[in-house]
A and B are shown apart, each in its own frame.
Chain A
């Protein structure tokens, strides 16, 4: 085979079988068996590792569906998804409507993306295209630090600094609100958006930009009309990552958003899908409808994230084929 590779001759199945025979003659039948077995064993291990990820996803999906369905069946799908009151511990009139949580999660994520994506994208463009190297190094360090800060610390800083600031700025009775959660979430998703977008922008072939500049476009026109569309799928991945982190965040939000199950408003105390599960799971009695309803909330959250991923992937695919 090396001979054939060295002289660039095509390598056929016949050659392969001849090669095996040569190996057999060279190494003897016993050693050949051990090497083949080792090969097969390693292939099996790789296959196993690959299927572990698939197995986990399947396991989690199946478990969520099985534990989330009973409550939905008992409460009624429409009442559950579109009911506007969540009061499972109410003695006289327990209500299990999660519309407030669904809307809050949607608005919160949308708000965080609206703030975070432009800022993150512009930062990535700056880092990738026009930053002087020393400044870029400083910003890189800052972004990496931001990415490494645990969510609890974000929540703590939000609670101590952001909530009183909002209260004083807007003359509210309490600053713990959807706005505080949106700001905290926007800051949290910045690092992932910046990192992935910057990698995508760096991967755009230099020829595209040089061609554009050669045709007379300015640098800014090149960035917005050539580089960003070319890096489109990477940027979409960045947005998906950001959305995924924002919709799944519980710890930071639990400290700044007030946690009262209201219909969302920018300055009202709200509860997200994630914090709804986190705040009640520990004391919901095992086997009670409340606990099962919490699992159903988990199922809804899971489906949400799948839906967002599918929609965004479809959008990218369409754009790719369209272009």
Chain B
């Protein structure tokens, strides 16, 4: 009996130590990836809460890492809930900065919300890596998503029923996709998921699936591929010059009230020239200055 207790204790201790080693290992690797810090102002302190678009995860990630390295007393948090939720949170004041991957609507700006565009992002149309289809026009994509064309053979793929994976109604990505493909209120989806990552996973695991997700999240992912739209590849240059049609802005939303010093500084940092390289490294296109 005693041996069992001793053995259990040793096992628990070994597991705890291995987890601690993992934690510190991860921490040190992220500090190696950061760009050299700009001048360090140590007066700023407090926390900045950001909440909203799941597409902006990478962009906010690199910006907040650099910002927290410059200002060690500030903590920036990111809550991936979707653009609609982010805008709502900014309006009610439950977050400092709301994140939206679409432009603000008229009724939202009429309520006093202010949006600052920090980047442009392409919406990549993704299909499973085993799908032979490489290119589609905007009309064909619209036909697939509205259910007009139900089979992959209609767009040049292998015969099989199309499964359209979309986002929830409040999603900025969905809003951008539907307004450009002109399929607002007429999409027939096979699944409505609540985050960019979930859409990518669903397309990865289903050879009949087609979905839409932010370019910054799609780059480098295995198991899926982004098709070209009207022959145009989705990457930074084509987004910037507009030849890749399916794109939308990354917007930081505030409710027009008093922002805390740290939050205002983060907002200024995100729109400054220092942030341009960081945003590019995240796969988005910095808003032309």
Contact = CB atoms under 8 A, between A and B. Distances in A.
Interface of A: 87-93, 159-160, 163-164, 167, 172-176, 254, 258-260, 269, 271, 279-280, 282-286
B209 interface: yes
Given A90-B185, A286-B92, A173 B190 contact: yes
A260 B209 CA distance: 16
Contacts of B189: 260, 269
A91 B84 CA distance: 15
Contacts of A88: 169
Contacts of A280: 168-170
A264 to B, nearest CB: 15
B224 to A, nearest CB: 15
A172 B87 CA distance: 37
Contact of A260 (B160, B190, B208): B190
Contacts of A87: 185
A269 B208 CA distance: 15
B185 A258 contact: no
A89 B170 contact: yes
Given A174-B209, A260-B189, 14 more contacts: A91-B184, A164-B205, A167-B206, A172-B161, A173-B206, A174-B165, A176-B190, A271-B192, A280-B168, A280-B170, A282-B85, A283-B84, A284-B88, A285-B91
B163 A174 contact: yes
B81 interface: yes
Q: Tell me whether chain B's interface is mostly helix, strand or loop, or mixed.
A: mixed
B88 A258 contact: no
A87 B184 CA distance: 12
B122 interface: no
Contact of B85 (A159, A167, A259, A283): A283
A259 B191 contact: yes
A176 B193 CA distance: 11
Contact of B82 (A175, A269, A283): A283
B162 interface: yes
Contacts of B190: 173-174, 176, 258, 260, 269
A269 B191 CA distance: 6
B208 A174 contact: yes
A279 B163 contact: no
A283 B88 contact: yes
B194 interface: yes
Contact of A259 (B81, B83, B160, B192): B192
A235 to B, nearest CB: 37
Interface in B147-205: 160-163, 165, 168-170, 184-185, 189-194, 201-202, 205
A283 B191 contact: no
Interface residues of B, number: 31
Contact of B170 (A172, A271, A283): A283
Contacts of B205: 160, 163-164
14 contacts: A90-B185, A93-B185, A160-B205, A172-B161, A173-B162, A173-B190, A174-B190, A174-B191, A176-B190, A269-B189, A279-B192, A279-B194, A285-B88, A286-B88
A91 B191 contact: no
B44 to A, nearest CB: 30
B132 to A, nearest CB: 17
Nearest to A285: B88
A258 B191 CA distance: 4
Q: Which 8 A-B pairs have the closest CB atoms?
A: A283-B84, A283-B170, A173-B161, A173-B163, A174-B163, A282-B85, A283-B85, A89-B169
Contacts of B206: 164, 167, 173-175
B148 to A, nearest CB: 15
Which of A91, A176, A282, A286 has most B Cβ within 10 Å? A282
Contacts of A286: 88, 91-92
A282 B82 contact: yes
Contacts of A174: 163, 165, 190-191, 206, 208-209
Contact of B191 (A89, A92, A93, A176): A176
A173 B84 contact: no
Nearest to B81: A282
Nearest to B168: A279
